[in-house]
Structure 1
Amino acid sequence: MRKLTYFIATSVDGFIGAPDGNGDCFYAHLDPEFTGYLASEYPETVSALGREHLGIAGAPPRHFDAVIMGRRTYEPGLAVGMTSPYGHLPEQYVVSRGLTAAPDPEVRLLHGDIVAAVRELKARDGLGIWLCGGADLAAQLIDEIDEFVVKTYPVFLGTGMPMSRAGFGARPLELTWSKTFGGGQTVTAYARRR
């Protein structure tokens, strides 16, 4: 059975983006050690444009072969003409009530009972499923999330889109590993206690 992992970037105070969802605030806090780690350990989580920039366009997936994202997470790529941001993955899903057709044939839309759809995806063979964002979608899928991998950037935003929304409630987690980088970033993984 595949795992669903909420692999997410956050500020020190728990925001995954500005109030409008923009995550550009994190790009000012990158250093070669951190980007090198992401490129080698999680190459599949780097968008198509980022993969070209980092020279890892052909890097195979290590942890995930599917990505699920909400419409608001998908839209920044669309704004710059990137209709298939993770085309290097066999499965890309966008959860949306408003989109009636995917702008790219490599992207599949999920409507209706999202929990049932994710359970069906988890039952398939393959690598893990990456829950890319956002907070509302994570709240809907909280009982299906098996692992949290949190990239914390050394920035305090004070306001913005929170990492979690109402519906998360208290969920006991177990720290499985943590890594700190010279630029102040940390990557921390937690497993759900069932």
Structure 2
Amino acid sequence: MKITVYCGAASGDNPKYAAAAKRLGEWIAANDDELVYGGGGVGLMGVVAQAVLDGGGKVHGIMPQMLIDRNAAAKGLTTMEVVDDMDERKRRMMELGDVLIAFPGGPGTLEEIAEAFSWARIGLNNKPCVFFDFDGYWQPMAQMFDAMTAAGFLTAPDRAKLLFTDSYDEITRWAVTYQPPKIRTFPVRK
């Protein structure tokens, strides 16, 4: 299975994030899965990728040339796909992964997983979306999705298609049994 991981190009202020990112990479490699990610050699991105490589796994990076020019790219990856821009990067990461996981990160990480889930609701992404909720990091976001549901902006069945967990076993079960949301349709307007 190819696992797309969205995560920070920064490491955060607490070393616990890097340690958890390393465990995520080790888990991917130990299961003979492959990592698809943004191609960075910095921050949590670099930690996850290096852990997969150190475990003998395959790592597929996808990065726009502008970030390669800024020396953000990791070295020694299995493959590095150079794309034109961030939109193409996000699209390719979504296409290549079998499951999409948001590890703790910043606005870019949030944007990537939110877009993937949004696209699932309109039929453009049939991949399971997971917020890897290490140390409760994503709980405010879970509450936001619950608020969207309570306010009628997100259906309860669609909300149930988004997993918040830090359990590797639960991620595996979710990926294997996942059924995409029903594609939204709209009534005919007169």
Whose relative contact order is higher, 1 or 2, with alpha carbons under 8 Å and at least 6 apart? 1
Task: Using structure 1 for the length normalisation, give the TM-score.
Answer: 0.42
Larger Rg: 2
Larger helix proportion of the pair: 2
TM-score, structure 2 normalization: 0.43
